């Protein structure tokens, strides 16, 4: 149903219902919510990587044969955690279909890495099922209102190359390499000083929709709190660490 396991510095969360194209029913949604709680409670798990079992689908959204098991008013959202926020980076590793609620789960993640077989879209349009796991809010923030409305209103599918061009996914890789690529990025993120990276992430996400002056004030407040980390990092750079484009490792 859901497998959550450590993979290096990441918590790898796999939706395991390949016979249903990894569609989500009630028990699977509850297990996803529990996996997020596990991630938040594990200080050594620095990135959550979300993927689907098998090559055919990341997630096909809500299991339309088991809608009665899903709670549309669940605090975390019908599909588990789409109305919750992670405090650390998250990455979707996508192969095959990421459609309907599956796309909404991918949009919940900070980054989306798709292999060349990926197909993304609001497939629920054809069945009259509403987007209620964050799609109407996150999709415009990621690709812009015009592109978002194109996908939301028409329900058309886009393949990996078009998704990359519109900014819907961040990177594309050859077939079958999505998970390895996502875990590699996770390790890169885990090697950075965490306090400042997570502070910058919080400032970026929390300032969406704020007037510029308010966003700048938020950035200044959050940044001031982690300046000692930056001071130590600057001293390490001055001493020779991280030269030539190499990353400065976390302490």
Active-site residue identified among 104, 195, 202, 251? 104
Pairing of strands 111-115, 90-94: parallel
- Residue (of 51, 32, 194) closest to 112 by Cα position: 51
- Catalytic annotation present for 104: yes
Q: How far apart are CA 24 and CA 48, in angstroms?
A: 19
Active-site residue identified among 5, 124, 162, 202? 124
- Catalytic annotation present for 116: no
Residues classed as catalytic: 104, 124
């Amino acid at each position: 149903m859901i497998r959550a396991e450590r993979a290096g510095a990441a918590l790898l969360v796999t939706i395991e219902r390949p016979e249903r194209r990894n569609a989500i029913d009630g028990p699977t949604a509850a297990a996803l919510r529990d996996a997020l709680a596990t991630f938040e409670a594990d200080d050594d798990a620095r990135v959550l990587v979300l993927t689907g079992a098998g090559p055919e689908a990341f997630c096909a959204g809500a299991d339309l044969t088991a809608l009665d098991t899903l709670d549309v008013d669940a605090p975390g959202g019908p599909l588990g955690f789409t109305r919750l926020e992670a405090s650390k980076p998250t990455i979707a590793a996508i192969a095959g279909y990421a459609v309907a609620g599956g796309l909404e789960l991918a949009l919940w993640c900070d980054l989306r890495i798709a292999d060349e077989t990926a197909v993304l879209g609001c497939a629920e349009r054809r069945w009259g099922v509403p987007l209620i796991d964050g799609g109407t809010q996150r999709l415009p923030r990621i690709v812009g209102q015009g592109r978002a409305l194109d996908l939301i209103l028409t329900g058309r599918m886009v393949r990996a190359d078009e998704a990359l061009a519109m900014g819907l996914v961040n990177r594309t890789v050859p077939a079958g390499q999505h998970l390895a690529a996502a875990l590699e990025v996770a390790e890169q993120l885990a090697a950075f000083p965490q306090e400042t990276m997570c502070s910058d992430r919080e400032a970026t996400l929390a300032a969406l929709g704020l007037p510029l002056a308010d966003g700048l004030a938020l950035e200044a407040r959050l940044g001031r709190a982690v300046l000692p980390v930056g001071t130590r990092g600057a001293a390490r750079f001055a001493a020779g660490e991280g030269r030539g484009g190499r990353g400065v490792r976390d302490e």
